């Protein structure tokens, strides 16, 4: 059976690695190398890294113990969850994954998938390379071509909601080089949050994910945030912009399937995609060529986390800056001990502790009602 994978990002290469020798795999990537331009902060959980390090030995940049959750007034809560994290360098990870995939798959760089056609009764893909155009026959087409997936559009797959992101790597005085900083509030994002992912004690990836205009929110974060503005340096090392799909969509139709951002395989409450791609690729490989089982096993594993993740995402738009200030003020001591039960890869762990927390803290009844309604407690 001939499988054609479009896209050499983590979703495409992990799919190729997991399909291994079960079929004849060809992967096409339009750029000269995968991982460019970088559109990632590189934060993944330790269990995700433990699986990836089989293929990627050099991508580790930093280790993460937990996170500081900032309210807009500059106060913060420290949360150290059950799972630790790591920061990786995507350029290196993507390079190493392509190398691993090339052990069993045929990889063509600088090769763009344009469209499919039927010729002499077989399905063929039109691929444009630097030396011209060719047709590649396939039995199964896998769209791992990212958030703006050409494959998904061509075959009429439903599309996820899109958030925008802008990120800069810059000199930054981190509160703790092993703690991520998350900045909440409508003044710093429309419907999501801003973040600082430390590379070391004096450098971080500072970014904003937002429904609209993340660049203006990022400028405001750097210039006006009571804590960030005092610690962000002026010298920017790298600027990245990208899009984040939220909400899982259709993932297969007849002999076409999607994996990764093209399918909305991203945690809706953080925008992190790599762990979900890794799990999806394992499930695809295990069930190949049964695409129905690929979908049902993926939903069995992550369906509950998607539902909770979407509710948390909605809550970001419902809480006002005053609500965030109040939450951090009253929750400071109590939240910190309860969050040891939280798992960054599984937001449903939040549902088990939140009702207990709400009972404990003296929040305004209207704020309790708002949180309970959005999280369907
Ligand atoms: C600012 C930002 C920060 C992020 N931070 C994190 C984070 O900290 N942790 C995390 O887990 N996730 C993070 N993410 C999400 C993560 O980067 C994505 O989920 C992940 O890169 C998606 O992988 P993918 O393989 O599906 O798509 P991509 O990485 O986009 O790869 C798709 C590939 O397909 C190729 N392609 C596209 N069209 C064609 C075509 N027609 N023919 C051939 N090739 C084609 C592209 O060149 C590209 O290489 C972040 C996203 C953004 C925007």
Q: Assign residue 72 the CATH number of its domain.
A: 3.30.9.10
- The CATH number covering residue 292 comes to 3.50.50.60
Over residues 252-278, the mean pLDDT reads: 96
pLDDT bracket for residue 361 (50, 70, 90): low
| pLDDT above 70 as % of the chain | 92
Q: Is residue 175 part of a domain?
A: yes
Best residue among 12, 145, 189, 257 to mutate for probing ligand 1, ranked by most atoms within 8 Å of CB:
145
Q: What is the pLDDT of residue 351?
A: 63
Residues 108 and 209 in one domain: no
Most confident of 141-145, 232-236, 306-310: 141-145
Residue 245 has pLDDT above 90, yes or no: yes
Mean pLDDT of 262-291: 97
For residue 3 the two structure tokens come to 């499988």
User: Which SS3 state, helix, strand or coil, does residue 367 take?
Assistant: helix
Query: Is a pLDDT exceeding 80 seen at residue 345?
Result: no
Q: Which of 258, 275, 306 is the last residue of a domain?
A: 306
Average pLDDT over residues 73-91: 90
Phi, psi of 144 (to 5 degrees): -115, 40
The pLDDT, as a whole number, for residue 330 is 81
Count Cα atoms within 13 angstroms, Cβ side, for 347. Answer: 21
High-pLDDT (> 90) share of the chain, %: 78
Report the C-alpha gap between 288 and 19 in whole angstroms: 8
Residues with CB under 6 A from ligand 1: 6-12, 28-31, 34, 39-44, 112-113, 144-146, 150, 165, 167, 207, 240, 242, 244, 260-261, 266, 271-274, 277
pLDDT value at position 156? 97
176 and 66 together in one domain: yes
Can you give the pLDDT at residue 207? 97
Closest residue CA from atom 33 of ligand 1: 7
pLDDT band at residue 110, thresholds of 50, 70 and 90? very high
* CA triple 242-244-249, angle to 5 deg: 140
**Across the strands, what pairs with 115?**
126
Which pLDDT tens digit goes with each residue over 113-127?
999 999 888 999 999
Q: Residue 318 sits in which domain range?
A: 312-374
- What mean pLDDT comes out for the span 360-374? 74
Is 43 inside any structural domain? Answer: no
Collapsing DSSP to helix, strand or coil, 226 comes out as coil
> What's the 146 CA to ligand 1 centre distance in angstroms?
5
State whether 278 and 191 are in the same domain.
no
Tokens of 192: 């999501």
Give the nearest ligand 1 atom to 209 CA: 1
Q: Which of 146, 152, 256, 281 to mutate to test the pocket of ligand 1 (most atoms within 8 A of CB)?
A: 146
Choose one of 32, 40, 248, 281 to mutate for the ligand 1 pocket test, by most ligand atoms within 8 angstroms of C-beta. Answer: 40
How is residue 183 annotated by DSSP? Answer: E
Rounded Cα gap, residues 103 and 85, in angstroms: 29
Pull the structure tokens for residue 132. Answer: 């011209």
Query: Are 121 and 29 found together in one domain?
Result: yes
- Asked whether residue 65 falls in the same domain as residue 213, the answer is yes
User: 105: which 2 tokens?
Assistant: 């798959």
User: Are 141 and 255 members of one domain?
Assistant: yes
Number of domains observed in the structure of the chain:
3
Question: What pLDDT shows up at residue 368?
Answer: 77
pLDDT (tens digit, 9 = 90+) per residue, 5-21? 999 999 999 999 999 99
Q: Is the pLDDT of residue 64 over 90?
A: yes
83 and 102 within one domain: no
Q: How far is the C-alpha of 65 from the C-alpha of 75, rounded, in Å? A: 19
Tell the residue nearest (CA) to atom 10 of ligand 1: 272
Give the pLDDT mean for 96-104.
Answer: 97
If you average pLDDT over residues 286-302, what whole number do you get?
97
pLDDT in tens, 175-204: 999 999 999 999 999 999 999 999 999 999
Whole-number Å distance, alpha carbon 10 to ligand 1 midpoint, is 7
Are 178 and 267 part of one and the same domain?
no
Dihedral sign, Cα of residue 360, residue 366, residue 367, residue 371: positive
9 C-alpha to ligand 1 centroid (Å): 6
Res 355: pLDDT: 66
What is the three-class DSSP state of 140? strand
pTM for this one? Answer: 0.94
Which of the residue ranges 36-45, 135-144, 205-214 would you say has the lowest mean pLDDT? 36-45
For position 331, what pLDDT does the model report? Answer: 76
Most informative mutation of 9, 244, 264 for ligand 1 (most atoms within 8 A of CB): 9
Task: Give dist(CA 189, CA 187) in Å, integer.
Answer: 6
213 lies in the same domain as 288: no
How many C-beta atoms surround the C-beta of residue 21 within 10 A?
9
| Domain annotation covers residue 352 | yes
Nearest-atom index, ligand 1, CA of 273: 19
pLDDT of residue 153: 97
Is pLDDT above 90 for 148? Answer: yes
**Positive/negative CA dihedral, 326, 333, 190, 302:** negative
């Amino acid at each position: 059976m001939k499988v054609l994978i479009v896209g050499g990002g983590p979703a495409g290469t992990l799919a190729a690695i997991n399909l291994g020798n079960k079929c004849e795999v060809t992967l096409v990537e339009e750029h000269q190398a995968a991982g460019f331009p970088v559109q990632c902060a590189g934060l993944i959980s330790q269990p995700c890294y433990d699986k990836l390090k089989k293929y990627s030995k050099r991508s580790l940049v930093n280790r993460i113990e937990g996170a500081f959750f900032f309210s807009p007034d500059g106060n913060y809560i420290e949360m150290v969850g059950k799972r630790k994290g790591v920061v990786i360098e995507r350029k290196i990870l993507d390079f190493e994954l392509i190398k691993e995939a090339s052990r069993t798959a045929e990889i063509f760089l600088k090769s763009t998938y344009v469209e499919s056609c039927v010729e002499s009764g077989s399905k063929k893909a039109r691929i444009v390379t630097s030396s011209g155009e060719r047709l590649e026959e396939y039995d199964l087409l896998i769209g791992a071509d990212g958030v703006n997936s050409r494959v998904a559009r061509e075959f009429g797959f439903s599309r996820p909601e899109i958030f925008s992101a802008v990120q800069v790597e810059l000199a930054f005085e981190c509160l703790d080089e092993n703690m991520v900083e998350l900045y909440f509030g409508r003044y710093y994002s429309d419907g999501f949050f801003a973040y600082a992912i430390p590379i070391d004690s004096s450098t971080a990836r500072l970014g904003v994910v937002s429904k609209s205009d993340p660049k203006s929110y990022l400028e405001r974060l750097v210039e006006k945030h009571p804590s960030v503005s005092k610690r962000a340096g002026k010298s920017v090392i790298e600027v990245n912009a990208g899009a984040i799909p939220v909400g899982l969509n259709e993932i297969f139709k007849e002999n076409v399937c999607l994996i990764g951002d093209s399918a909305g395989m991203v945690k809706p409450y953080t925008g992190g995609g790599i762990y979900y791609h890794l799990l999806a690729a394992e499930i695809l490989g295990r069930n190949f060529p049964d695409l129905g089982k690929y979908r049902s096993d993926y939903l069995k594993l992550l369906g509950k986390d998607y539902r909770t993740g979407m509710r948390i995402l909605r809550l970001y738009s419902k809480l006002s800056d005053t609500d965030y200030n109040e939450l951090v003020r009253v929750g400071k001591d109590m939240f910190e001990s309860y969050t040891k039960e939280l798992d960054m890869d599984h937001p449903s762990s939040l549902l088990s502790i939140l009702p207990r927390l709400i009972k404990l803290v003296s929040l305004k009844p209207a704020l309790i009602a708002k949180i309970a309604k959005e999280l369907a407690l």
